[in-house]
Structure 1
Amino acid sequence: MATNRKNLLEIAAPSFSITNTVTPKKLDQAPNGQDFATYAAQPYTYDAKKAAELFKEGLKELGKTSITLELEGANDNSFAKAAVDYLKGNLEKDLPGLTINEKLVSSAQCQKDAQNNNFQILLTSWGADYNEPSDFLMNFVSGSSMNHGLVDNKDFDKAYNAATTTPDVLSADKRYAHYKDAERALYESANVNPLATESVSLLLNPKLKGISTYNSAMIFDLRHAEITK
């Protein structure tokens, strides 16, 4: 609610696209044919006025008039560095009483801090090994070694477990409905603040046909590639 994603990407990464799910765009399709990120989209909207009101209420509940938080990102990643700079200014402007201290370290240190749960707010990213929402959503399962934010969300766990175990895992309609419920649970509990889907430009010879591309570990499938005349 306090994140102006549109302005963030205009400044930090114009080629990236705004994300309204943990699962990025063009990773997978829901059974109805929609991109899963469209099918499961949540209302991660920017509303500075409402955010300020809620932040003020939160400070009052804590018995504070101000608070300082640390935002960590990688100093060897151009997007992360620019995003940390932007978010500091954006959040401090929209949320009176908030001070953001930047912590810019190497990508290796960011990864180490994530694994050790040694952060307050961490700007991070994830790349899929396979084209299914579970590859991203598994990072928020309670007790998982990949759950670096120590998320403990019973509604999320219930939906994720239903999607990945029998009998519903055998039904595409039920499985993807549960994945959508899992995305909703993360949104409603503000466990994560998805920002963007990364875009990569490719320059291909127009005579090169039959290449398939994926937003996962296997970026290119060359099995049917051929050079045409």
Structure 2
Amino acid sequence: MFTSKHTLVESFGVDSEIAAFFVDRKIPDQNDYWKGRLLYVSSGTGYLFIPLWFDLQFKLGVAKDVLLSEDYVRLSEAILDSAAKHEMNKISLQEHIENCKALVIGRVKQTALYDDLLAFFSDPLLKPYKNIGTVSPALNRGDSLLFTLCLLETDMQTLNKLVRGWQALVPSFLLMDDVMDLEEDKKNGEENSIADFGKGSEGVKKALDYLADNFEFLKQYNLKLANTFAKSLVAKKETPYLQSLISNS
């Protein structure tokens, strides 16, 4: 489904130039992340997050000309291509991380973050490491995109905010989907991140608290985005389905 510039700006608080850049951008050639896709940005979580993440980086202090440079955007696209290959079981996780290393080698400005990412991904369980990762490995696999931050020339305070911003944005997207898919995933024996927050209703409640905390962080930098997320969560919480999960899971 098409996502317009107007929707990105008005509903998600995205800077108009950033919104236009990604809505108008051509799908990268021979990239498995966009395989079979006609649009660069669609309403699906895996594509909508891209302009939201770039916009959040801008709001957290990264210059727009850096963010929208072909070098930086193509690096993100290349990492997403490799991530898609891993999800398709074409390559292993470690092969994916080796690809990420090859993409940034010789250009790393943030060596501490780079080393932390290597340490984080060296653990096959993807447990949280310093300020990287959540309690759920399922929410952590996308953290390889943080390798892009290693190229930025910025201070440590801004860098830490960027990592926190990523953790507030992307896992929240995924977790909101998992909350609504919990019972179906259980029946189908599929992975669901809610289980990593705890058993039954306690896990659901902790996941909802985690989301609320993330939205509070986002409010500081993008009120429209935080409010859109919060309204969506309120609507989900009012459904009989989620009410039953909270009380009976």
Q: TM-score band (shorter)?
A: under 0.3
TM-score, normalisation: structure 1: 0.27
- The answer to which structure has the higher strand fraction is 1
- The answer to which structure has the higher helix fraction is 2
TM-score, normalisation: structure 2: 0.25
Q: Higher relative CO (CA 8 A, sep ≥ 6), structure 1 or 2?
A: 1
| Structure (1 or 2) with the larger CA radius of gyration | 1
